[in-house]
């Protein structure tokens, strides 16, 4: 009888171990967002940014702008000069006045593309919806984007739909809200941060599973 109970106990432990390991493999690891990239204008106040008369927010002329790139350590990319292009960010709906001289405008779509100096794509983010908040004084303006999608070669190291983006604007002063209740054209500079979740490394999951199995084996031996 004791032998049968011991066998059943070992079988139950094995089932629990298998289910736990399967759960570990299935669950997202490294779920806390980390800074993937911060980019700036280097010696300049920031990247040249503009809001066109047609209601599109983008890097100046919709072109790639040389930028100083600082990558997360887990990515196989080299810090230094590269290019950043923000394009296709469209104003959406009516702007509102949050406070006197502080305007808030919803946006939709657009993307950011980060390349090396030879225009080879390193990372991209396809934007979903965002918010462009600007001030009449040009101080404290920013552009933020909610959860979006990574692309490009370095996107393979990141959870695809974990991307977020924020851009601090410097001396960005649109003329206010126009007759169509949208922000009027403006220009300034910006320095940004791309964040997201790191894809768990297979070796990390293997070590987690091995540790669990080892613990169960030790308990069996002690029994």
Query: Among candidates 72, 195, 23, 178, which has minimal Cα distance to 125?
Result: 195
Confirm if 155 and 178 have CB atoms less than 8 A apart.
no
Q: Which ranges of the chain would DSSP assign to H, the alpha helix?
A: 2-26, 202-222
Q: Taking the C-alpha atoms of 6, 8, 10 and 14 in order, what is their torsion angle to the nearest 10 degrees?
A: 180
Confirm if 106 and 94 have CB atoms less than 8 A apart.
no
Q: What percent of the chain has pLDDT over 90?
A: 61
CA distances from 138 to 56, 135, 180, 186 (A): 19, 5, 22, 10
Q: Which ranges of 27-129 would DSSP assign to H, the alpha helix?
A: none
Q: What pTM did the predictor assign?
A: 0.77
CA distances from 96 to 55, 91, 180 (A): 15, 12, 12
**Per-residue pLDDT tens for 163-184?**
999 999 999 988 778 877 888 8
Query: Among candidates 43, 114, 45, 40, which has minimal Cα distance to 77?
Result: 114
Q: Regarding predicted confidence, which is higher, 43 or 121?
A: 121
Pairwise CA distance, residues 165 & 38, whole Å? 10
Question: How would residue 115 be classed by pLDDT, with cut points 50, 70 and 90?
Answer: very high
**Per-residue pLDDT tens for 186-222?**
999 999 999 999 998 654 444 445 544 444 444 445 5
- Enumerate the β-bridge partners of residue 151: 124
Residue 200: what pLDDT?
83
- The helix/strand/coil state of 113 is strand
């Amino acid at each position: 009888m004791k032998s049968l109970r011991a066998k059943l106990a070992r079988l139950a432990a094995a089932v629990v171990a298998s289910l736990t390991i399967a759960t570990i493999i299935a669950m997202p690891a490294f779920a806390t967002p980390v800074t993937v990239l911060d980019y700036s204008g280097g010696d300049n106040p920031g990247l040249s940014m503009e809001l066109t008369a047609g209601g599109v927010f983008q890097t100046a002329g919709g072109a790639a702008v040389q930028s100083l790139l600082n990558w997360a350590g887990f990515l196989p990319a080299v810090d230094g000069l590269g290019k950043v292009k923000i394009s296709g960010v469209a104003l959406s709906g009516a702007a509102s006045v949050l406070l006197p001289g502080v305007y808030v405008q919803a946006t939709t779509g657009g993307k950011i593309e980060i390349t090396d100096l030879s225009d080879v794509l390193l990372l991209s983010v396809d934007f979903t919806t965002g918010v462009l908040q600007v001030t009449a004084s040009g101080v404290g303006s920013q552009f933020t984007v909610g959860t979006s999608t990574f692309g490009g070669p370095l996107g393979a190291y990141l959870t695809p739909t974990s991307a977020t983006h924020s851009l601090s604007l410097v001396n960005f002063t649109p003329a206010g809200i126009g007759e169509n209740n949208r922000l009027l054209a403006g220009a300034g500079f910006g320095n940004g941060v791309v964040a997201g979740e790191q894809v768990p490394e297979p070796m990390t999951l293997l070590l987690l599973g091995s540790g669990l199995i080892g613990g169960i084996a030790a308990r069996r031996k002690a029994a």
